[in-house]
Amino acid sequence: MAMRLNVRSWILPLIIANVAVFALQMMLGNLFTESLMLISSDVTARPWILFTSMFLHGGLDHILFNMYGLFIFGSLLERKIGPNRFIALYLGSGLAAALLSSLFYARALGASGALMGVIGAMVILMPNLQLLFFFIIPMPLWVAGIVWAVLDSIGIFVPSGIANVAHLVGMGCGLLFGLWLKKKHGKIQRIISSKSQLTEEDMLEYLKSGRI
């Protein structure tokens, strides 16, 4: 029997965890940050830094931007797919982004890969959601997703201290997750619509699929 975590929402716990770790960074300094950040040469010896680096940030603007995005986009997506799927997507995207980043960067930190996973899934599930790109330009989410991907692709060849590869990997994970959910949702819908009366097994399968 699969174990399911009974959590109403992961958004606030994630924000609190990120802010708490950032506060420790400010109080304890570089030694603390370097003990938890992603250092590519240390991944084999200390694989847990793939996880811990997701909760570190390089400055106040870095954490404010990521936590604002997590609160806005994460809240919308979590209500649509449920907390269990949300946390799986968030952590999975962040870990994949960190792992691939270790092949390109000597050091990296931040929740951006995980956040881009959230945005990638939303591009598939809520493509027409309207937003203000850079808080100024109105556009649907699918267009913003393309712009983000193009900017990060350019950033790979024009280094600026940003782990653009992590952004692209995170978004790629989110896109794939969104496509999987959309396909599964369509299958469930076809099963339900083809029956005049639902069986207990049908209802259980529908409940297990989450709310999309």
Model confidence at 13, pLDDT cuts 50, 70, 90, reads very high
112 catalytic residue (yes or no): yes
Catalytic residue among 9, 102, 112, 193: 112
Q: pLDDT tens digit string along 173-204?
A: 999 999 998 887 766 555 545 555 545 555 45
Q: pLDDT tens digit string along 108-161?
A: 999 999 999 999 999 999 999 888 776 677 889 889 889 989 988 888 887 777
What are the extents of the domains in the chain? 11-183
Share of the chain above pLDDT 90, in %: 61
Catalytic residue among 57, 75, 167, 194: 167
Instruction: Check pLDDT > 70 for residue 82.
Output: yes
CATH architecture of 11-183: Up-down Bundle (1.20)
Q: Where does the chain have alpha helices with state H?
A: 11-28, 30-36, 49-52, 60-69, 75-81, 83-101, 112-125, 141-157, 164-193, 200-208
185 catalytic residue (yes or no): no
Structure confidence at residue 201 (pLDDT) = 59
Structure confidence at residue 139 (pLDDT) = 84
Distance, CA of 138 to CA of 94 (rounded, Å): 28
